[in-house]
Structure 1
């Protein structure tokens, strides 16, 4: 018998303001590389997401390879498979934290990954790793991404709660993994584990007789190639149903200067059928670049005008 998807319900949007969370959380993130937001969303939102994903977890096979886990299930395209998960992806405090961490190096952030994870009994502890290592760039100079784990079931030491190593972030990111067992991020559905891309972490061993479920959502610098191919995961016919902020997070926005454009225009125009067949390309520059280009253009026009007879 095929499991039934839960009927849609009217879930209240997440309305917590960034100021309610970010002060102490930002201090912890910068000092130890991770923090736990307690009661970030009502638990019923996570319960609904969990119900929406039941069938997807049931149908997904175990991974192949010791990194993904041979007794672990993973799948992407989360925002399609669980419409309620969109509330989590656009959480105002979470996205504010990601922007504050990443803003010095980018014009806008993007969703790097949105994935469901189910760790089954008997799974061994995952190798400690840093997610920033997916990009071949300098380490320890800036942050590439901010990750968030949303527990769908309680995270305990026994069932393999994500392990994190305090102080392993930033300039320590190039150090070899330690023999220290790390700190288990024990928490409940409704809490959110936030950690930097340079923070050493890994799933723990599940020594219980029940699976442990969670979501991982990551936010990266907007000019990076993301872990998940967003435009294939959420093509225009899917993304046009998203809220404006979520459209931007999944790639339907230019990153100045002019990155990710379609015929010289912002790809968001594709979602509302506003893209002309033969558009005129429009500059999308940073304020500093606009000033430099404007000064150059004015000087060139003056020189050309002086040459006219």
Structure 2
């Protein structure tokens, strides 16, 4: 996996995060070099050619989709672990989780004559409270030009947060026109949908999304990347695909982080080990200290021999 991207400045991240949270989306130009785009197209060409069209009106009968991209293209790790995007995800989701995980990687081709996709909010797959918190951060990476003619993604500005409860949506969508190398970042509560492809060309892109670490992801990451595959990932990437604990103790294997399975010889017998948030650890320590003090107070006083 390549890791050539440099850590961005906190000022730039903060500016784009403010725009994301205010409008529900932002388009960040020149986020990856053209060499990365070319490598991804080269790595995915054969898979696209072999993949059949989707079935069903939502996925799109003139659309091809496939996931598990870390198994299809090594270069996709650069997108998943893009330092700018990861920091934006922490800013957008960190208030509601101890850590976030990879929710989906999906490559998409939309063919000529594809109709516009039904407008939707990706967070609606989870039946939690709406308009109060964010569950998901989406990133669309174009691998070809996104234009109004070929069906660039439609986004409804301001349709997130409390507006996520409104039907029908207020206002008109924007057309997320962008060139390869850019990134469309939007919240899971933002209304969006693919536009109609009225051109003679295929529109190609990649979707990568991140969700709260205590949610069941859209794409089953552990089936996509079982231990035999994930043990070849670096620790950060393995944690993103689910080989990590979300405190307290969520997602454990025999009471430990599932990362224990990524070693050469995973042990058969493990000691279940606490993984608590700092506030929980402090509460536990206080509770145990009170018990110790109470036990000490009830013990008979020691008497020395005369």
> What is the TM-score when the length of structure 2 is the normalising length?
0.94
Contiguous gaps of at least 5 residues in structure 2 = 301-306
Give how far 1:20 is off. Answer: 6.0
Please tell me whether the aligned partners of residues 113 and 197 of structure 2 are also in contact (alpha carbons under 8 angstroms): yes
1:247 to 2:238 alignment? yes
CA drift of 1:24 comes to 2.2
Residue from 259, 262, 266 that aligns with 1:268: 259
Deviations 1:191-212 (A, max 9, x none): 0000000000000001111110
Contact 2:251-2:257 within 8 A present in 1 as well: yes
2:185 to 177, 181, 194: 194
For structure 1, which runs of at least 5 residues remain unmatched after alignment? 1-9
In the superposition, relative to structure 1, how do residues 104 and 45 fare at CA in structure 2: closer, same or farther (>3 Å)?
Answer: same
- 1:294, distance to aligned residue in structure 2 (A): 0.6
Who is 1:5 aligned against? none
Structure 1 pair 16/302, CA: closer, same or farther in 2 (3 Å)?
Answer: closer
Alignment of 1:73-92 (within 5 A): 73-92=64-83
TM-fit CA distance, 1:246: 0.8
- Do the aligned residues in 1 keep the contact of 2:155 with 2:190 (CA within 8 Å)? yes
Supply the distance in 2 between the matched residues of 1:66 and 1:274 (Cα, whole angstroms).
46
Distance 1:161 1:119 in 2: 10
Counterpart residue number, 2:175: 184
Corresponding residue of 2:159: 168
- What is the alpha-carbon distance in structure 2 between the residues aligned to residue 138 and residue 59 of structure 1? 40
1:193-241: CA deviation from partner (whole Å, max 9, x where unpaired):
0000000000000111111000000011000000000100111111111
> Which of 272, 281, 292 does residue 281 from structure 1 map onto?
272
Residue from 222, 230, 233 that aligns with 2:221: 230
Call closer, same or farther: CA 1:20–1:73 in 2, change over 3 Å: farther
CA distance in 2, matches of 1:19, 1:206: 37
Q: Distance in 2 between matches of 1:33 and 1:12?
A: 29
Instruction: Name the SS of the counterpart of 2:75 in structure 1.
Output: helix
**Rg (Cα) greater in structure:** 2
The ranges of structure 1 where at least 4 consecutive aligned residues each deviate by more than 2 angstroms after the TM superposition are 18-21, 177-181, 273-276, 301-309
TM-score (norm 1): 0.93
Alignment match, 1:13: 4
Contact kept? 2:159, 2:169, Cα under 8 Å: no
Counterpart pick for 1:141 among 132, 135, 142: 132
1:282-303 CA-to-partner distances (Å, cap 9, x unmatched) read 1000000000001111111222
1:268–1:200 distance in 2 versus 1, CA, 3 Å: same
Match of 1:298 in 2: 289
Distance 2:132 2:170 in 1: 25
Deviation at 1:181, TM superposition (A): 4.7
Query: CA 1:147/1:162 → structure 2, altered by over 3 Å: closer, same or farther?
Result: same
Distance (Å, rounded) in 2 between the aligned partners of 1:139 and 1:109: 19
Assess if the C-alpha contact under 8 Å between 1:18 and 1:96 holds in 2.
no
How far did 1:279 drift? 1.1
SS in structure 2 opposite 1:173? helix
In structure 1, C-alpha distance between the alignment counterparts of 2:80 and 2:25, rounded to whole Å: 18
